[in-house]
Amino acid sequence: MAADPNKLGIFVTSPQHMRHILGIAKAAVRADKKVMVFFTFKSIHLTKNPLFYELSQLCAVEDIAICADSYICEGFDNVNDVPRGLIDKQMRTQAFHGAILDECAKYIVM
Amino acid sequence: MESLKVYILIANRVYNDGIRSGLGLAVENHYAFPVIMNGEFPRFSNYMSENIAWIADMEGQVFSCGAEAPTDLPEGTEIANISLEELGERMREADFIIPYGLPKQSHEPPAACSE
Amino acid sequence: MKILQVYKSEPTEDVKKLVEILNRDRVADEFKLYIGEPNYDILVQKIFANDKTVCWW
């Protein structure tokens, strides 16, 4: 699949930049761009930030996911405690990051 | 699908999970180059050692930049030394550069998390 | 090749050196996220105007 020139991938690896992530995603949507986001390792704690739900509503279901292994490693229950704004099929593997690299013409790490 | 060259820079001892993330891309047929900066090495558990070896099997490489890589790693687990200048030159050819997690801490870890 | 360097915190000497090498002979731009209230609209414009973005710690 060729990368979509109007799609921005955001790879979230830090647990402390929710304000920037949401700010960038909102600005991208204002500019008629699509946003695809993956949260991994300790950044999955951002799913407990109230701003996370707002972010989840800016993305198509297939365009936002978190690393299920990271979520479990950090002690959360991936069955009974799916983050607000997500459904179980958005608990994914690192392959989702690979999909971001393939599908998004632009990319930023947060 | 095009195989991409991806450098994952690890500057903080807590964020050596960047190596697992690199392996995740390697199994997607990308070239993964995790770089441990300034001696922020992980604990070399069997899992971590296997991941490092597997990245090499997939034509990637784990590097150490700014500190000598340990030489007493399990067989098949190799970390190559690279200078900052060499790293910069190699990254000019990268498709993606990922400064992973958090920056280096100012202080050594307290006893509660030092082992 | 147009490259954008984004900083989430003040760059270290190592980061400055790597950026110097990455930017050599290229059209380079930068954006500092750690100063004041960032204008995310401008950042997104820059991301889409450049071929590659590196977002440092």
What radius of gyration, in Å, describes the C-alpha atoms of chain C?
A: 11
ipTM of the complex: 0.96
A7 close to A34: Cβ distance less than 8 angstroms: yes
C33 in contact with chain B, both atoms CB, cutoff 8 A: no
Q: Which residues of A touch C57 (CB under 8 A)?
A: 14
B69: which DSSP letter?
P
Any idea what the CATH number is for the domain that residue A61 is in? 3.40.1260.10
Per-residue pLDDT for chain B (115 aa), expressed as one digit of tens each? 789 999 999 999 999 999 999 999 999 999 999 999 999 998 889 999 999 999 999 999 999 999 999 988 888 899 999 999 999 999 999 999 999 999 999 988 898 887 7
Binary contact (B21, A94; C-beta < 8 A)? yes
> What φ, ψ does residue B95 adopt, rounded to 5°?
-85, -35
Q: How many domains are there within chain B?
A: 1
Q: Is the pTM of this model over 0.90?
A: yes
B79 close to B69: Cβ distance less than 8 angstroms: yes
Query: Which residues span the domain enclosing B72?
Result: 5-113
Q: How many domains are there within chain C?
A: 1
Question: Closest Cα to residue B34, out of B58, B45, B46?
Answer: B58
Query: Which residues span the domain enclosing C28?
Result: 2-56
Q: How many domains are there within chain A?
A: 1
- Which residues are bridge partners to C42 per DSSP? none
Binary contact (B100, A95; C-beta < 8 A)? no
B99 in contact with chain A, both atoms CB, cutoff 8 A: yes
Q: Which chains does chain B touch, 3 or more C-beta pairs < 8 A?
A: A, C
Question: Within its chain, how far is the Cα of A26 from the centroid?
Answer: 13
| B–C CB contacts, 8 A cutoff, strictly below | 35
**Residue A1 in this model has a pLDDT that exceeds 70:** no
Query: Which residues span the domain enclosing A65?
Result: 4-109
- From the list B18, B24, B95, which residue is nearest A95 (CB)? B24
Any idea what the CATH number is for the domain that residue B65 is in? 3.40.1260.10
